[in-house]
Structure 1
Amino acid sequence: MTDPVALAHRLVDIPSVSGAESDAAQFVALHLTDLGYRVEVFEALPGRPNVLATTDRPPWVVLSTHLDTVPPHIPAREDDGFLHGRGACDAKGIIAAQIAAAERLRAEGVAEIGLLFVVDEEMGSAGARAANVHPRARECRWLIDGEPTDNKLAAGSKGSLRLTLRTEGVTAHSAYPEQGRSAIDALLDVLADVRRAAWPTDAFFGDTTVNIGVIAGGTRPNVVAGEARADLQIRLVTDAAPVKRLLEQAVGARAQIEYLTAVNPLRLATVPGFETCVVR
């Protein structure tokens, strides 16, 4: 039987920041092959493969989570009964737990199961979208997705809207700023209005939250910036459409908006007897 702690330790030691998941995917695929699964490795994006493992029966119940992590890579270490390192909770420890759980089910004669491990969850969810259109997706009746939830069963998940704001200016020497127009100043004004906007709330999902994750612009301290950008992620409690309207009202014509991905909030099936939560 699979030792989930030992397996999680080995997984955590494999760097798999979003965009560089291939080594982790190949390791998981080989491990599952050794356990006797029928394993398919299929690319969600070039060089970024998902891993699907099934038995000789249809995968009515699929245990799933993601291979990628946020940066930076932190190697595994154990102390006082705890495993530390990047992905120990999100989500390589979950990969190991799901593989161990599937092994227990198979030992008890349950064969209608599958394991699905996807890439790009921390960014654009390209792995999940590729899995959704896989020919075997129609065989899945229930998918149990593993995420850190304090051991609570998720009754719902906020949505996500990722976007980039871009502003343009006119370059000039900083000694003569009146001859230029700063794209950074313009971007800061836009972001201030975005932060002041009244975003939707929902009794079930809670508050919409806006994170300005990246700001970049300009070339040198003595040059008025000719361009600037900000990357934002908005956690949705409504469909994306009304949030886009509010954002566009706040931004106006002062910046270009490039929408990258949009996933609406989702209510999930629950099982009686489990404590529940809404995940963000």
Structure 2
Amino acid sequence: MDTVPGYLEVKLSNGKLYGRGACDDKASLLAMAFAFLEVEEIRGTLMYVGVVDEEGDSSGTRYLIENAGKSIPKPNAIIIGEPTGLDKIVTTYRGGFIVKVKVKSRGGHASSPITTTNPIVKVYEIYNKLCRLLSVGNAYDSISITPTVIKGGDFENKIPTTCEMILNIRIPPKTNCLEVLERLNRFIKELSIDNSTSITYSRCIEPVNLRIDNPIARAVTRA
């Protein structure tokens, strides 16, 4: 139900609603709610779920996965309301995980850069090496590595003591978490990093590649 941070003015113009999250993902939630009202009889159980923290750690979805078949029914199929336009049904979706690179240094004065390690420079060197290792191939089939947060430095004339970069890694359907994490772990090992540098990563979410002849996909397409 949630969306990325930021504010866009909420307004209604010519019968259309504008504002942060109006399309992603409030519109599909509302459409599904009205679809539920139209269902008169169904063989089985139909669930309507509005999960939270989807732009964060996906705690809502994780709860569903961990409790499926226990406190809540285990679904046979799931329709996710990510906006894809009114004329497209998406059957593949990238997986991914988060990498955090952190470098420490004793810092120093900007007039003497050769006397110390600049953690900002070192973080970017690691980022560039990681891109060369993982991000190969065309735009669709390659792993994407996107810097989303960087923290380092507090004064224009001072070499900082720390720098941290967060990378959002997205995995295409033709690969998987195990393969990518094995390559990442080899990369970390080959870097021979010391105690001044740390590279950590979150739990990896597998990509999805659904067959186009899947009954649910075909039913939604016909609808």
**TM-score of the two chains, using structure 1 as the length reference:** 0.65
Partners of 1:80 and 1:217 in 2: CA distance: 46
Q: Quote the offset at 1:102 in angstroms.
A: 0.6
Which residue of structure 2 lines up, in the alignment, with residue 253 of structure 1?
Answer: 192
Q: For the residues of structure 2 that align with 1:101 and 1:201, how far apart are their CA atoms?
A: 41
* CA displacement at 1:226 relative to structure 2: 1.2
Q: Structure 1 stretches (4+) deviating beyond 6 angstroms?
A: none
1:161 corresponds to 2:107: no
Moved more, 129-138 or 181-190: 129-138
Confirm or deny: 8 A CA contact 2:91 2:217 kept in the other structure.
no
Asked if the contact 1:212/1:230 (under 8 Å) is kept, the reply is: yes
Pairing partner for 1:207 from 131, 142, 157: 142
Q: Rate the CA distance shift 1:220–1:115 in 2: closer, same or farther, 3 A.
A: same
Once the two structures are superposed, residues 209-250 of structure 1 have per-residue CA deviations (whole angstroms, 9 ceiling, x without a partner) of: 111111111232222111111111111021123323433455
Whole-Å separation in 2 of the counterparts to 1:141 and 1:216: 43
Q: Residue 272 in 1 paired to residue 218 in 2?
A: yes
CA distance in 2, matches of 1:127, 1:121: 7
Whether the 8 Å contact between 1:162 and 1:233 is mirrored in structure 2 is yes
Q: CA deviation at 1:127?
A: 1.1
> Following TM superposition, by how much is the alpha carbon of 1:144 offset from its aligned partner in structure 2, in angstroms?
1.6
Residues 190 and 101 from structure 1, CA distance in 2 versus in 1: closer, same or farther, beyond 3 angstroms? same
Change (3 A) 1:253 1:219: farther
Residue of 1, 10, 22 corresponding to 1:88: 22
Corresponding residue of 2:118: 182
Structure-2 residue corresponding to 1:19:
none
Which has a greater percent of strand?
1
Between the aligned residues of both structures, percent identity stands at: 24
Residue 226 in structure 1 maps to residue 161 in structure 2: yes
1:134-153 map, 5 Å: 134=67, 135-151=70-86, 152-153=88-89
Pick aligned residue for 1:129 from 62, 82, 100: 62
* Structure 2, unaligned runs of 5 or more: none
1:263 aligns with 2:205: yes
Counting only pairs closer than 5 Å after superposition, residues 2-41 of structure 1 correspond to structure 2 as none
Other structure's SS at 1:185 match? helix
Please list every run of 5 or more consecutive structure 1 residues that lacks an aligned counterpart in the other structure.
1-66
1:161–1:263 CA contact under 8 A, matched in 2: yes
Q: Deviations over 1:185-231 (max 9, x none)?
A: 111211222233353669xx733211111111123222211111111
1:98 to 29, 32, 35: 32
Give, in whole Å, the separation in 2 of the partners of 1:231 and 1:128: 22
Contact 1:166 1:257 in 2 (8 A): yes
Give the Cα–Cα distance (whole angstroms) in 2 for the partners of residues 193 and 213 of structure 1.
17
| Compared CA separation, residues 187 and 124, structure 1 to 2 (3 A) | same
Question: TM-score, length-normalised on structure 2?
Answer: 0.80
**Maintained 8 Å contact 1:161/1:262:** yes
For 1:114 and 1:266, the matched residues in 2 are separated by 21
- The residue matched to 1:147 in structure 2 has which SS? coil
Q: Specify which of 241, 244, 251 is matched with residue 178 of structure 2.
A: 241
* Higher relative contact order structure (alpha carbons within 8 Å, sequence separation ≥ 6): 2
In 1, Cα distance between the equivalents of 2:109 and 2:74? 63
Give the Å deviation of 1:125: 1.4
Indicate how the Cα distance of structure 1 residues 178 and 142 shifts in structure 2: closer, same or farther if over 3 A, else same: closer
